[in-house]
Amino acid sequence: MGAYDTYQTPLDSRYSSEEMKRLFGRRSRHGTWRKLWLWLAEAEKECGLDISDEAISQLASHLEVTDQDFELAAQEEKRRRHDVMSHVHVYGLSAPAAAGIIHAGATSCYITDNTELILMKDGLDLLLPKLARVIHILSEFAMKWRHEPTLGYTHYQPAQMVTVGKRAAGWIQDLMIDLEDIERAREDLKFRGAQGTTGTQASFMELFNGDEAKIDKLNVLLCEKAGFKDCYSVSTQTYTRKVDLRLANAITGLGATVQRLTSDIRHLANMKELEEPFEKDQIGSSAMAYKRNPMRSERLCSLGRKLASLPVNFSNTYTSQWLERSLDDSAIRRIDIPEMFLLADALLLGLENVANGLVVYPKRIDAHNREELPFMITENVIMKIVSKGGNRQDAHEKVRVLSHEAGHVVKHEGGQNDLIERIKKDEYFKPVWDELDEMMDPKLYIGRSANIVEKFCGQGSVVEQRLLPYKSYIEKAGTAELNV
């Protein structure tokens, strides 16, 4: 059977990066199993167990799992119905001097759980720089367009002016929250270590003749080798699945943010104010040749929806763990953990691609501004009349009536908004006639938008300081390319 004959997950074939796919691939996973067996033997030897140098050398020389090893392990698993023990057997064939001590004192979860923690740690280390780069790119965009007035929208109805950059700063702030949550999850992630079958370390008490100091030393050594600060203080047969839920809540929050952000882009694309990248030969629709559909943002909304839905699975898996452990966590975690990382990876690749090529149409934005600006300036008109001795209630009523008349022209006759012309013809407003044209400058109504962007995204800003740990990655990374 060829590659086109069997199902492939779209995350593999279309969306995710090669490095994330390799990380959660079989060779990486089972190679990590072998590292854990090597580290256990090394640590046990250092703590006093009689393990030969030759055994350690052979284990270290066969850390890569070959195609033949996988074939032998598959045969063994059919016979033994146990994936870990099938790989113990095959590893022992490659390292015969160590065959008798591989997995000594360990339970299967020493291998599977610790591997999952290592893969998740490494996966987070792949995601965080990519997220930082997206934030950096959008920060540059926000700074570039921080002065560009655009209509704000509340209830998806025109509201007070903002700027293109100010809106982008809101997206960035949400992504910064995701960055902080994922960083915290990465910082707090610990190791399971060598805890025995129900987390009592009884098997290691046997191995070390009751010497608890050696067991503690064993786990210190294992943490150092695996790159963790510490082990979880209490384990059952597994590390608590609350860890998976905690991690999922941090990562899947990104899915919600990306949906929120790209939905804004899709709405703005409909108004022809802003567009995602659109390639020279790209086809927007198979039937409607003129179309420029925001397919990248739509894809990101779709993938984001999937990622954001995952916490319920992790929650249900955690709550279903009876007493010291039940195996109904295994199959679902084999799917959900890699899928969570591949989804997050795909979202960051796609979002970087979109952010790097956003196109703004200032003239179209200005046209929309001027359609609504006559309504926007009415509060200022009222205040100017009051400052010149007029009655606020009288001015408000006259503006209300004239606004409704202008609105009728727009909605029922398809005409232009002629409110300013109506005000200029009404003698009541004569004291402010000369000021009306000056009041039609959109920049007068953006408040502190530009300053807000500069403080948040500019030189020496909150964003710049938070991204310093990722500076080298941001500077060297190229533009993300999408597979399709």
- Given a contact cutoff of 8 angstroms between Cβ atoms, the answer to whether 318 and 275 are in contact is no
Q: What is the DSSP letter of 241?
A: T
Residue 136: active-site member: no
Active site residue 155: yes
Q: Which residues contact 153 (CB under 8 A, 6 or more apart)?
A: 159
Among 388, 400, 471, 469, smallest CA distance to 430 is for 388
Amino acid identity for residue 387 in this structure: S
State the catalytic residue, choosing from 155, 233, 286, 412: 155
Can you read off the two tokens belonging to residue 462? 């909150």
Are the C-beta atoms of 149 and 447 separated by less than 8 Å? no
Q: How many residues are given for the chain? A: 484
CA-CA distance, 404 to 411, in Å (whole number)? 10
Q: At residue 2, what is the residue type?
A: G
Burial of 19-34, coded b for 16+ CB within 10 Å and e otherwise, reads: ebbebbeeebbbebbb
Cβ-in-10-Å burial (0-12, 13-18, 19+) of 147 comes to: middle
Helix H or strand E encompassing 162: strand 157-163
User: Which residue type occupies 317?
Assistant: T
User: Nearest 5°: CA angle at 182, between 177 and 188?
Assistant: 125
- 228 CB contacts (<8 Å, ≥6 apart)? 117, 121, 189, 190, 191
CA distance 12 to 342: 8
Report yes or no: 133 and 352 within 8 Å, Cβ to Cβ: yes
Residue 133: name the closest of 170, 175, 169, 173 by CA.
Answer: 175
- Non-local CB neighbours of 179 within 8 Å, separated by 6+ positions: 128, 131, 132, 135, 466
Q: Residue 433, class by beta-carbon neighbours within 10 Å (0-12 exposed, 13-18 middle, 19+ buried)?
A: middle
Q: 52, 285, 302, 326: which one is catalytic?
A: 285
Please state, as a whole number, how many other Cβ atoms lie within 10 Å of the Cβ of residue 400.
Answer: 11
> What does the block give as tokens for 177?
């929250």
CA atoms within 13 A on the CB side of 337: 29
Contact status, residue 417 vs residue 408, Cβ threshold 8 Å: no
Query: Which residues are the active-site residues?
Result: 155, 285
